Structures are given as C-alpha cells and as structure tokens.
Amino acid sequence: MARSMRAARFYGPGIDIKVEEIPYPTPGPGDAIVRLAACGICGSDVHFLEGMPVPGGVPFTLGHEPAGIVETVGDGVRAWKAGDRVAIHLGSGCGVCRPCTSGHPNCCPALIAPGLHIDGAFAEAIRVPVGSLVRVPDGVSLVAAAIATDCVASPYHALKCRARLRAGERVAVLGCGGLGLQAVSLARVLGAEQVVAVDVSAVALERAARAGASACVDVSGTDPAAAIRAVIADGADVVIECVGAPETVAAGVRALVPGGRLVVVGVGMMPPAIDLPQAIFALQELSVLGSFGSHQADLEEILALEAAGTIDIEASISHRLRLEQVGEGLEMLRTRRGDPQRIVVEIAAP
C-alpha cells in the first residue's frame, strides 16, 4: 500500500482548510524529504485566504516557515543525510540569473518556495530542493528554527541588508505584529540608539516595550509621522513598515530625517500614495526600499544569535497549535482574535 501523510489543504478563499491524507513525498534528484517538527503561521498565508492567488494553484498545502529532520535524500545529494536537523529557507533560486548573481537571490524569477510555488509545510513531511536547507545548531529548538525562517530572518534582512542600519541610528517600526516585534528586538541587537514602536494595539505596544522599544506610540486616530517626530524630533534614520498599507508607507516617508531610508516589508496590493513633492526626495536624499524574505546567510546568522542566547525566538510565540488546527490558527491571525503574536503549528516531536 502506498504511504500517505496528513496535510492541511487549501482549496480557495471562503473554503475551509481540510486536513486530508495525501501521498507521502518522494525525493527527486537534488531533493530532500524533511519530516516536519513545526511550521509558523504567517500573515502571507492569510493573504491567500483573502483572495491573493496562490502561485502553485489549488488545492495546495500552505506553510512556509518550517523546520524538521531530514528523512531521506535524492540522487546526487552529498552534503545532507538522514537525521540532520534543518530549517527550510523561504526559497531556492536558480543561481545564474542577474538577481541571483548580483546579491538578490530572494528575487529570482525562478524562485521555488514551499507554501508558494510547491506544497508547503502544514503537513507531516515536505519535499524541497536541498539548496533550501539550513543546518540548525545544537541547542536551538526546531520550533525556534521554524519561526526564524521568515518571521525573524525577514526583518533582520530588512534592517541589515536593505536599510544597512548603522550603530547609533534611530529606528521607527510601523506595525508591531509578528514581523514588527522582531524588528524592534533586532534593531536593538544591531546597535540602534532609539527604537520607536508604532501601532494601534495596546497589547502589541506592551510586547514591543518588553522587546526593547525605547518608546511606544499608540497612533489610533493620529498621524504616525507626527507621532514619530514627537519622539525623534528631526525624524528617524530608518523606518521599517510592517503593515502593508498605503497610508503607513506614506507616513513612513514623512517620518524620515534627511538621508533616511524607509524599508517596506509589509505586503499590500494597493499602490502607496506618497504625499510629498518629488523635490523633497531630491533635496533630502530620501530612499524608499522594498524588502522580501531574506538570504540564507541571514537565516544562518539568526540561528547563530539564537544559539548564543543573544535573542530568544520562542519568547515571541503566543499560540501553539496542532496540525488539525491550521484553519483555526489562520482565522485567529486574520481576525486578530486572542491578540496573536506568533502562532506555530507543532507537527511532530523532534
């Protein structure tokens, strides 16, 4: 009898997630089969529920923040073996196109990402190209490694690689959900002098204060840019936008000091209306930068920080669910019911 496994399958917006038995994956050349321990639930997963097309089509297994243990490998694989503890990076590029060879492999047109292009990790096992595997250091839990793959590595990439944050600079974080809260903590680790957390949720701001924010600003009914400038008088050197809304992108630009950088991490489908004259961008040398995912080196550095005790990834987890509860977790994140910070699906014991 053919081997099968459980997977939480997505059939389209408005249709309940169904946990079903599907064929167990088998490795092709250059692949690994990873028995999954955990997978985080991300806001990007919620976008699919709200109607954003899934590149891989439906029915489909979502989930792109996984970690687990290598079970078997395909032909030609030498660097990995059964029993290796691994985190699965967001995607594997072709390695030869211009984005890949110019330092932007996360933007490769041929990117293969689990939970986006191939079946993801809300399942008992996954098949991935071995180019997506990152070794998990001893002492780092597979639950922490799963969260690190996107929730932590993405804001780290935004701060270090895109904003090029320098020690002593002042940072504002717009939106202190899962990604934004990590941005607050990581900005401190990277040497920011001030970190201003901005949100409309009292719970989120309380968490940001515990994560190291030097000031927490509730912008309910107020202009975020003005609120940031009330704390950092001449403006922020770096603003990290983690909301994905046109108004927060515009506010982020208006909160910048001359020479400042806005890094857009939040994913939104509406065009931002930046309400500043073009001359201001030229005269003040302002920058608006996009940031998507991370590089594998970013994830390796994050796992090293966790291993050293510099950061505590598991402290950011507010809810732990079973595979059968994936649909419940997605709806919890969509509605913000229970004030989720980071939700992780624990699939199997490591």
Percent over 90 (pLDDT), the chain? 77
Identify the helix (H) or strand (E) that includes residue 345.
strand 343-346
Q: What is the pLDDT of residue 336?
A: 85
Q: What is the pLDDT of residue 248?
A: 92
Give this prediction's pTM.
0.93
Three-class secondary structure of residue 91 per DSSP? coil
Torsional sign, CA 10, 16, 17, 19 = negative
Does residue 17 contact residue 41 with C-beta atoms inside 8 Å?
no
Across 129-162, b (16+ Cβ under 10 Å) vs e yields bbbbbbebeeebbbbbbbbbbbbbbbbbbbbbbb
Tokens 């211009």 — which residue? 98
Domain boundaries, the chain: 4-135+317-346, 153-290
Q: What is the pLDDT of residue 274?
A: 85
- What residues of the chain score a pLDDT lower than 50? 350
CATH of domain 153-290: 3.40.50.720
| Spatial CB neighbours of 53, under 8 Å, sequence gap ≥ 6 | none
Q: 124 φ, ψ to 5°? A: -80, -25
Does residue 243 contact residue 269 with C-beta atoms inside 8 Å?
no
- Cα 269 to chain centroid distance, Å, stands at 17
Q: What is the pLDDT of residue 350?
A: 45
Does residue 72 contact residue 27 with C-beta atoms inside 8 Å?
yes
Q: HSE of 188 in the Cβ direction (CA atoms, 13 Å)?
A: 18
DSSP string computed for 190-245: TT-SEEEEEES-HHHHHHHHHHT-SEEEE-TTS-HHHHHHHHSTT-EEEEEE-S--
Q: In 3D, which of 178, 177, 146, 179 has the Cα closest to residue 263?
A: 179
**Helix extents (H) in 37-177:** 43-49, 98-101, 142-147, 153-157
Q: What is the pLDDT of residue 277?
A: 85
Torsional sign, CA 297, 301, 306, 311 = negative
Three-class secondary structure of residue 27 per DSSP? coil
- Domain covering 4-135+317-346: architecture: Alpha-Beta Complex (3.90)
| Nearest-angstrom CA–CA distance, 252 and 261 | 9
Q: What is the pLDDT of residue 72?
A: 96
8 pairs with which residues across the strands?
A: 19
